């Protein structure tokens, strides 16, 4: 039997992880996070599609793709968290389990980062656990997928 597919979508500037503000985002690169996340997905019996784009349109396209190809979706919208009605609407339209993740605790940062336009379109949020949050998100997503049966 095929493994359920989980999409992990990463938004703008996450390609700079490891060099961008390591005091906030940590020292791990997105490639490092992808390796550990793929390992955890395999342990959980999930197949993984892992992507990053600085383009809002590409992220919307991938959310729509996930709707027809995936059992669940994890998204780190980056700065689009606070600005993108388009990503929000794509998430609403995607009828599958969805989790939003942030490396830092957005509620302990600048006022403009404390509002997530995308949060109301997902089943849950994992914030503030750094790169480890991706593994936590996968565990939560697997639970949601199993509940949908």
What is the distance between the alpha carbons of residues 23 and 49, in angstroms, rounded to a whole number? 28
For residue range 22-49, list pLDDT tens digits in order. Answer: 677 667 899 999 999 999 999 999 999 9
Task: State residue 107's pLDDT score.
Answer: 76
What is the distance between the alpha carbons of residues 96 and 57, in angstroms, rounded to a whole number? 20
For residue range 99-116, list pLDDT tens digits in order. Answer: 999 998 887 777 766 788
Nearest 5°: CA angle at 79, between 75 and 83? 100
Active site amino acids? 25, 102
**Residue span of the structural domain in which 78 resides:** 5-148
CB 141, CB 97: distance < 8 Å: yes
Does the pLDDT of residue 123 top 80, yes or no?
yes
CATH number, domain with residue 116: 3.40.50.9100
Which tokens hold the place of 146? 């199993």
CB 74, CB 66: distance < 8 Å: no
Does the pLDDT of residue 118 top 90, yes or no?
yes
Total structural domains within the chain: 1
């Amino acid at each position: 039997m095929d493994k359920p597919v989980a999409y992990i979508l990463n938004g703008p500037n996450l390609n700079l992880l490891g060099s961008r503000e390591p005091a906030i985002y940590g020292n791990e690169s997105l490639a490092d996070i992808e390796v550990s996340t793929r390992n955890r997905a395999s342990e959980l019996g999930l197949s993984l599609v892992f992507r990053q784009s600085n383009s809002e349109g590409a992220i919307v396209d991938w959310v729509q793709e996930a709707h027809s190809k995936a059992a669940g979706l994890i998204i780190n919208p980056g700065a689009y968290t606070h600005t993108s009605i388009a990503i929000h609407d794509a998430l609403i339209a995607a009828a599958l389990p969805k989790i939003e993740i942030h490396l830092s605790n957005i509620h302990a940062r600048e006022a403009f980062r404390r509002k997530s336009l995308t949060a109301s379109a997902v089943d849950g949020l994992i914030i503030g656990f750094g790169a480890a949050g991706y593994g936590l998100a996968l565990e939560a997503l697997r639970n949601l997928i199993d509940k949908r049966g």
